[in-house]
Amino acid sequence: MSAAELFDGMGIEYERAFGRLPAQLEAVGWLTDRLGAGARVLDVGSGTGRPVADLLVGAGCDVTGIDVSRTMVELARAQVPGARFEQCGVHDFEAPEGSFDAVCAFFPLLVMSRAEVSAALRRMAGWLAPGGYLVTATVPADVDDVEIEWMGRRVRVSSFSAEEYVRQVREECGLDVLHHAVSVFQPDDEQAGPEEHVYCYARRAKELPGG
């Protein structure tokens, strides 16, 4: 099942189970504390638009959300009219280098291959303006294309350990990692068990070394 099919079938059920992640709310607060009014923010895998795009719009940011799921994009457009949402995958989205003051990606990088996870991280880093922030979260696991059961569905996922994920942000994407932490979350859904999450806050240097 593709990510689009998975999340088309899930819709608002996802927000009911995962809409109140303390570490995610903290991450968005950390980001908005650093962004001025009108900051251009790209939310990759924007889901239902809540809570992330909604909070960013509330903080005065100029928000673009992208998501592969048509259902999620329709929900987000209805719930967060102050942001723009596009049905588009992170590997297909076209934006000039350096065109966002921040990019956030909360949990879109799982239903894909490891090569695609790494490529997505590099693309997102490339969209950052000098001094821009990349804030991401994923489920850390040393797994390559394995089938798991999640929210009552069979899904094929890939990921990296927390250490390898943070290393890629630092070394493959060339960003300064300002903070990373692992937390455990129990979704508000009887079909779902506790999940480990790794959060990583990173920044593109203001100027190129020697520049």
Residues found near ligand SAM in the complex (CB under 6 A) = 3, 7, 14, 18, 44-47, 52, 66-69, 72, 89-90, 106-108, 111-112
Measure the CA–CA gap between 15 and 197, rounded to whole angstroms. Answer: 17
For residue 175, give every residue at least 6 positions away whose Cβ sits within 8 Å of its Cβ, in sequence order, or none. 125, 128, 134, 169, 202, 203, 204
User: Please, what is the minimum distance in Å from the beta carbon of residue 18 to ligand SAM?
Assistant: 6
Shortest distance, CB of residue 34 to ligand SAM, whole angstroms? 19
| Residue 207, both tokens | 């100027």
As measured in angstroms, the least distance from the Cβ of 108 to ligand SAM is 3
Closer residue to ligand SAM, CB minimum distance, 56 or 112: 112
- The residue type found at 111 is V
Whether the Cβ atoms of residue 103 and residue 124 lie closer than 8 Å to each other: yes
- 3/35 with CB nearer ligand SAM: 3
Contact 13, 151 (CB under 8 A): yes
Q: Is the CB of 79 or the CB of 205 nearer to ligand SAM?
A: 79
Q: C-beta of 23: minimal distance to ligand SAM in Å?
A: 11
Give the residue with the Cβ less far from ligand SAM, 1 or 172. Answer: 1
Instruction: For the CB of residue 45, give the shortest distance to ligand SAM in the complex, in Å.
Output: 3
* Residue-wise burial string across 138-171, b where 16 or more C-beta atoms lie within 10 A, e elsewhere: bbbbebeeeeeebbeeebbbbbbebeebbebbee
Taking the least distance from each CB to ligand SAM, the nearer of 34 and 123 is: 123
Half-sphere exposure of 123 (CA within 13 A, CB side): 17
When the beta carbons of 8 and 62 are compared against ligand SAM, the nearer one is 8
| Minimum CB–partner distance for residue 142 and ligand SAM (Å) | 20
Token pair in block for residue 185: 């979350």
Confirm if 165 and 159 have CB atoms less than 8 A apart.
Answer: yes
